[in-house]
Amino acid sequence: MGRLSGKRAIVTGAGSGIGRASAVLFALEGAKVVAVDRVEDAVDETAAIIRKAGGTVTSVAADVGNEEAVKGFIDHCVEQHGGLDVIYANAGISGGMVPLAEQTVDYWAEILRINLIGPFLAIKHAAPHMIRQGKGSIICTASVAGLRANAGGTPYSASKAGVISLVQTTANEFYGTGVRVNAICPGLIETGMTKPIFDNARARGTDTKIGQLNPLKRYGVPEEIAHMALFLASDDASYVNGQAIAVDGGLSSTHPFAGRR
User: Domain containing 170 — which CATH number?
Assistant: 3.40.50.720
Catalytic residue of the set 88, 156, 175, 239: 156
Q: How confident is the model at residue 157 (pLDDT cuts 50, 70, 90)?
A: very high
88 is catalytic: no
Give the whole-number percent of the chain exceeding pLDDT 90.
79
Structural domain includes residue 206? no
Q: Which helix (H) or strand (E) holds 162?
A: helix 154-173
How far is Cα 166 from Cα 170, in angstroms, rounded to an integer? 6
* pLDDT for 205 beyond 90: no
Q: Which residues pair with 86 in a beta bridge?
A: 9, 137
40: Cβ contacts below 8 Å, ≥ 6 apart? 59, 61
Task: Specify if 261 maps to a domain.
Answer: no
Average pLDDT of span 40-66: 98
The answer to whether residue 199 sits within a structural domain is no
Four-CA torsion 90, 37, 14, 108, nearest 10 degrees = -30
**Residue 2 forms part of a structural domain:** no
Task: Give the pLDDT band of residue 31 (cuts 50, 70, 90).
Answer: very high
- pLDDT at res. 194: 64
Selected residue with higher pLDDT from 188 and 8: 8
Domain of 147, in residue numbers:
8-190+220-248
Answer whether 0.75 is exceeded by the pTM. yes
259, pLDDT greater than 60: no
Q: Which residues contact 2 (CB under 8 A, 6 or more apart)?
A: 29, 30
Q: Which residues pair with 244 in a beta bridge?
A: 183
Calculate the alpha carbon distances from 174 to 70, 84, 138, 184, 242 in Å. 20, 16, 11, 19, 10
pLDDT band with cut points at 50, 70 and 90 for residue 191: confident
> Is 205 inside a domain boundary?
no
Question: What local confidence, expressed as pLDDT, does residue 255 receive?
Answer: 59
Report the distance separating Cα 66 and Cα 90, nearest Å: 15
- Residue 235 in any domain: the answer is yes
Q: Is residue 212 part of a domain?
A: no
In Å, how far from its chain's centre is CA 176? 25
| pLDDT for residue 256 | 63
Q: In this predicted structure, what is the pLDDT of residue 244?
A: 98
In this prediction, residue 97 carries a pLDDT of 86
Residue 196 in any domain: the answer is no
Per the DSSP assignment, residues forming a β-bridge with 183 are 140, 244
User: How far apart are the C-alpha atoms of 138 and 184, rounded to whole Å?
Assistant: 11
Q: What is the DSSP code (8-state) at residue 211?
A: T
Provide the residue type at 223 as one letter.
E
Question: Nearest 5°: phi and psi at 123?
Answer: -65, -45
Kindly state the helix (H) or strand (E) to which residue 40 belongs, with its residue range.
Answer: helix 40-52
Count of structural domains within the chain: 1
